[in-house]
A and B are shown apart, each in its own frame.
Chain A
Amino acid sequence: MSAVEELQPEHELLTINFGPHHPATHGVLRVMVTLEGEVVRDLKPIVGYLHTGIEKNCEDKSYWKVIPFVERMDYVSFFFQMQAFCGAVERLLDMEIPDRAKYLRVIHLELNRLHSHLVWLGTSALDVGAMSVLFYCFRERDKVLDLFEMSSGQRMHTRYFQVGGVIEDIPVGWARRVREFCAEMPTRIDQYEAILDRNEIFLNRTRNVGVVPRERLLELGVTGPLLRAAGEPWDLRKASPCLSYADFDFKVPIGTVGDGYDRYRVRLAEMRESVRIIEQAIEGLPDGPHILDDRKYVLPPRDELSTSMEALIHHFKLVTEGFRVPPGETYHSIEGPRGELGCFVVADGSAKPARVHFRDSSFVNLQALREMSVGGYVADMIQNLAMLDPILGGVDR
């Protein structure tokens, strides 16, 4: 769609308010839409209805206590926030985590990407009208959550990643469960595609809707599947791989037109690639420690607490005060399911971070909503919002 047109005074314009409580906005997003008939002339997203002050709260907690806080920002892709923060702190400490931890982190990250895309597909298809896809997607989502529960004890917000590695090694049988999951997942994705890919209603609603040229998206700072659907081959997993992404062979799906249909196809293809990465990672999972052995930063194993006085002292210091990070600041970014997720940490030498800021992909991507929707119909705006995949927890933090 073209750029915003000048609004003439003789147009009969109606400004209505969408949300913050609305069945179709993904969370508490409020949109003020100026309509001429059914055509959107102007659009203003108003956010902040979920602002939780997480960044400020983190300044009051020691580094490992920050991890559960930042998890809850973008609440569907919780592992990615953990990875962004732990990666930033590990960078500040110049830590190199063991290989097994890297692989385990990648497996959980890709499972989380699957989870995020499943939730997206379920709720977006619901917005467009395909209700049954919700039930199919949440069936798989529950299987992913079962895997998370098996490895860390909690379905969502697991605080599984810690500075130095992962908090616990995977239990016996988890690798087998993951393999079984990966074996059946491609058929499930085929099922979703069978419902939606060539569905006439879905095609009519998403084809050529919400097209923004690639250069404009880059100017707006949009990253992730939205940018890739428009044709820009930019993926941080390939461009600046962190953890062990460089060891795996996977493709990055790119779209051509950049409309809603391309975004849908790109995300479904990404789901397939995630399954491939998980398969490769679980096959090549190296042996070794799951977390660093450095007692200054990492809790000692619990069985040592009853025998070694030193371990007890380390444990005590780490739990009550936390480890200190030498002064410095860093920005660490990873490829989240919605785009570039960056974490900026300022350390001032004490046990608490002086500033934690998240560059959240949904927050920046939301600026593209206006460009996508102006000039189209209001029903297309709903669909654009669905394909944009904003998670308001990340937008508002």
Chain B
Amino acid sequence: MHVSAFPASVTDSASDTLTDPMLSSLDGVRVSYAGGVAALDEVSLLFARGEQVAIIGPSGAGKTTLLHTLGCAIRPTAGRVRVLGRDPWAMPYKALHRLRSELFIAPQSPPLPPRQRVVNAVLAGRVPQWTTWNALKSLLHPLDAGAAHHALAHFRVEDKLFLRCDRLSGGERQRVGLARLLVSKARLLLLDEPVSALDPALAKSALETLQQEAFARGATLVVGLHAVDLALARFARLIGLRSGRVAFDLPRAKVTDALLAHLYGADLGVAFQEPPSTDDARLRVTRCL
């Protein structure tokens, strides 16, 4: 079982983050929802262009809120956000909406309209680049069925191209949602549990595809993950989130079992309770793959 080395090389090359004009960052960000509970508090993070980062943490830790704040879908209550080098909340809202077309938020359960055909669901990732007229034309006759097919093929669901979305299984829906990302032109990719409905082998290959795509585009990739094993195996930098605060932000090698145990507290995952194997931690995390 190998641990792919290429994300590490991406991160290393993007180390001088502060001078990067395409930097995305959160600075002292606080997000509180109606009712006053802070979903994020005092969160400060930097994401260099091309960097690939996994965000882990127990359910309700604020992973989704963090991704949506970084994706200009939530305006922080306090603190500053920079997205691809720009301050979204200081922009006129048309410019902000143009900025949104440069990023891609993939929600955990891809919201695909049940009656929509897969080809249109995938090409929906391309509509921000289209005129409304072309978007309409594409509904009558797909403008770029080839691109949709190609994107689906990456996730081995190309045979579903002309099926309706309500004929798909949960895992197929998730992969169609990811294919939508592939046809987009986004440079900041924010994925919320992108492989939660896939079996371990598929999850690994899907994540690999996404990482290669991000690498090829020079896009920043931030992924919220439940599967700690997968995060450790495939990401050079891990951010631990707990109760809306950053518990740690470390390179993979420095993420110890003790840190993880603390991160998950009482909800300690089975993964860390098992007796330690004689091999190093790296081998253990591949157990799930």
Q: Do A and B bind each other?
A: no
Q: Which residues of A contact B (CB under 8 A)?
A: none
Q: Which residues of B contact A (CB under 8 A)?
A: none
